[in-house]
Amino acid sequence: DAKTTQPTSMDCAEGRAANLPCNHSTISGNEYVYWYRQIHSQGPQYIIHGLKNNETNEMASLIITEDRKSSTLILPHATLRDTAVYYCIALGGTNKLIFGTGTLLAVQP
Amino acid sequence: DAMVIQNPRYQVTQFGKPVTLSCSQTLNHNVMYWYQQKSSQAPKLLFHYYDKDFNNEADTPDNFQSRRPNTSFCFLDIRSPGLGDAAMYLCATQADGREGETQYFGPGTRLLVL
């Protein structure tokens, strides 16, 4: 499964959109881009996933570039409760979630 | 609500004393996973069950075993816990193990070894 690269940390002001980038330049055609987040001392929470098209659900939007080498997770109106580590994972045929270091998003009041 | 349940949330054991962590699910999913997450690290897959078929990761120590008596329950047994086994243990489920299928996690059990 392809490796992903994310910034170590980001800040976002409460009420503003949080845009979290992820690079997956070696992703293969059958690998999905998955996003999970982990709030301190809790289990990872599924956010969203996509293959080629942009996706939106009640939590977030996922924008995948046309060449699929990178993606952005968008939290449209960040709240303090969105402070967490966000993991971007390329999930392929092995079905093994290989977690990288993730991005620590700190939402500031 | 259908969910993944882990009990207890916190478990204390003594060095070398066997301990069992439990996971149950009401999702009726075929696949169940166990991950280990040490402090300030990302979760790491230990093993998984596809139905009754056990699949161990190559670097999972022999000290870690698992049982799945039925679809709903899966147990993680640590035969002789060492201080280095103190971690959060996460259970996850997946419906059918199809390519790219979502995994859903429980809240985790934090293990402390004294």
Q: What is the pLDDT along chain B (114 residues), one digit of tens a residue?
A: 669 999 899 999 999 999 999 999 999 999 999 999 999 899 999 999 999 999 999 999 999 999 999 999 999 999 999 999 999 999 999 998 887 788 999 999 999 999
pLDDT of residue A99: 87
Q: Chain B interface, mutation test: which of A27, A68, A99, most B Cβ atoms within 10 Å? A: A99
**Cβ-Cβ contacts under 8 Å, B88 against chain A:** 41
Contact across the interface for A97 and B104, Cβ inside 8 Å:
no
Report the DSSP beta bridge partners of residue A20: A73
Q: Give the pLDDT confidence score for residue A1 in this predicted structure.
A: 63
Over residues A79-102, the pLDDT tens digits come to: 999 999 999 999 877 778 888 889
Nearest to A43 among B44, B90, B102 (CB): B90
Q: Which candidate, B18, B13, B33, B42, places its Cα nearest to that of B111?
A: B13
SS3 per-residue string spanning chain A: CCCCECCCEEEEECCCCEEEEEECCCCCCCCEEEEEEECCCCCCEEEEEECCCCEECCCCEEEECCCCCEEEEEECCCCHHHCEEEEEEEECCCCCCCCCCCEEEEEEC
In this complex, how many residue pairs, one in chain A and one in chain B, have their CB atoms less than 8 Å apart? 55
Q: Which of A43, A99, A102 sits opposite B108 (nearest CB)?
A: A43
- Whether B42 and chain A come into contact, CB under 8 Å, resolves to yes
